[in-house]
Amino acid sequence: MPWLGFAAVGVGGGAGLLAASSWAGFFAGVAAAAASALVAWVATRPLQADLETLSTAARGLARELSSDPTSRNADTRKLAREVNELAEQTRKLSLAHDTLTAVLDRMPDGVWITSADGTIVRHNAALQELLYPMTTLTGQRPIAVLRSTQLQEAVVRACEAAEPARLEVPVEGLRPRTLAVDVVPLGKELGGSAAVFRDVSELRRLEKVRQDFVANVSHELATPITAIRGYAETLREGALRDPENAPQMVEIIHRQSERLSELVRDLLELSRLDAKEQKLQVEPVALAEVAARAAEAVRPKASSKGITLELSVPTELVAQADARGIEQVLLNLLDNAVKYTPRGGRVEVRGQTADGRCAVSVRDTGVGIEAKHLPRVFERFYRVDKGRSRDMGGTGLGLSIVKNLMTAMEGDVRVESIPGKGTTFTVTVPTQTG
């Protein structure tokens, strides 16, 4: 630990050296302080006190020299000037030390410094925070702190071969995280290494979400395309002249192409919402009218399944929302309610004021959703029962569109369900203002 040695020896005796008028010692002390200014943070706190003592002593000495009537010759005046300059340099060093300490202690990235043998000798507050609940870092080897042989080896290479490294280290425990680490050698003179840590967990999570999304989209598109191509080829190879099977194949091609266009429509809607391209027009919206329009759109499907569709939204319920957005939300919820309710069931739309907001719930007597799936149904492409959703013509995107629209309107959506009995989705939006 050469720099720690310097802090204790080079500067520590500054005042004493001056009192004894040992100029060589004084100059050596200041020169060593200058060389170490940039790594002052590495040194222990007493360095700061030493620099201040040195600066005060030098100023005192300069005053004494210039006022001493017995020594007013040119050499003494020159010496007094030099001592003054040194005092000024020492003050600057002290400031540099303070700045560096403040920067490192307040920076959001974690930093540690190791000695030449790879032991951690200093770290900043952010690193302590990143590695919480681990408390003792100083005096430890990297492997003992993060259990990563890769990081341990990187630190050793930085110390011994002056090789920098960049790597990612997983942190297990209560708060599993991924840390990106840059390890840099501190150079021959100082020995040792520094490492900078940044939490990249959220970045990696988003990358994974994006990759999964692309994989899901490709899969969802591939399924209908494969069916369309397969049946078209069969027809081309002769089935077209088969009056018994041809109409059925054409029907499948038509259904699958509808599925494709629904998927593309939902994807475009989501991407517009993501890009915040779609300008929401927030204005007073009579919820009874919007709910009635959404209900009319699903009524034919409900009737064909013998499902009773009931509306009970008071006319005075006026929300501050985007009319098209709220209609889309209710349409998606009603479409699902009808889709996942067996023949002869019942779907109700109720409106009321709750906690000063407008609340509209869509309740069905359908298949319900098990509790373990409830937190995930708003995720893109999440389906409780993949087969059932596809058979019903679902894209797996309806509820994520609902969630996005509600967020954009400063609204909220909740779900409650009892498997086998039914599901209730409730959306809330601000009430009309002004």
What residue ranges bind ligand ADP (CB under 6 A)? 336-337, 340, 364, 366-367, 369, 377, 382-385, 389, 394-400, 423
Rounded to a whole number of angstroms, the minimum distance from the CB of residue 280 to ligand ADP is 21
Give whichever of 12 and 396 is closer to ligand ADP, judged by the CB atom: 396
Phi-psi region of 361 (alpha: psi -120 to 50; beta: other; left: phi over 0): beta
What is the closest distance, in whole angstroms, from the C-beta atom of residue 387 to ligand ADP in the complex? 10
Query: 117 to each of 18, 30, 122, 320, 393, how far by Cα in Å?
Result: 35, 27, 14, 65, 65
Cα–Cα dist 197/110, whole Å: 5
> Whole-number minimum distance, CB 388 to ligand ADP, in Å?
7
User: CB of residue 169 vs ligand ADP: minimum separation in angstroms?
Assistant: 36
Q: Is 107:124 a contact under the CB 8 Å cutoff?
A: yes
- Which amino acid would we find at residue 49? A
Shortest CB 275 distance to ligand ADP, Å? 20
Task: Please say which residue, 400 or 428, places its beta carbon nearer to ligand ADP.
Answer: 400
- Nearer residue to ligand ADP within complex by CB, 124 or 400: 400
Measured from the CB atom, the residue of 48 and 341 that comes closer to ligand ADP is 341
Provide, rounded to whole angstroms, the least separation between the CB of residue 148 and ligand ADP: 39
Smallest distance from ligand ADP to CB 264, Å = 14
User: Residue 36 or residue 400: which is nearer to ligand ADP going by CB?
Assistant: 400
Give min distance, CB of 263 to ligand ADP, in A: 10
Q: What is the CA 137 to chain-centroid distance, rounded?
A: 26
Cβ 364 to ligand ADP, closest distance in Å? Answer: 5
Residue number, 249 or 291, with CB nearest to ligand ADP: 291
Residue 122 or residue 380: which is nearer to ligand ADP going by CB? 380
Which C-beta is closer to ligand ADP: that of 61 or that of 377? 377
Which residue, 38 or 264, is less far from ligand ADP as judged by CB? 264
Measured CA to CA, the distance from residue 18 to residue 118 in angstroms comes to 37
Adjacent-strand bridge partners of 312:
350
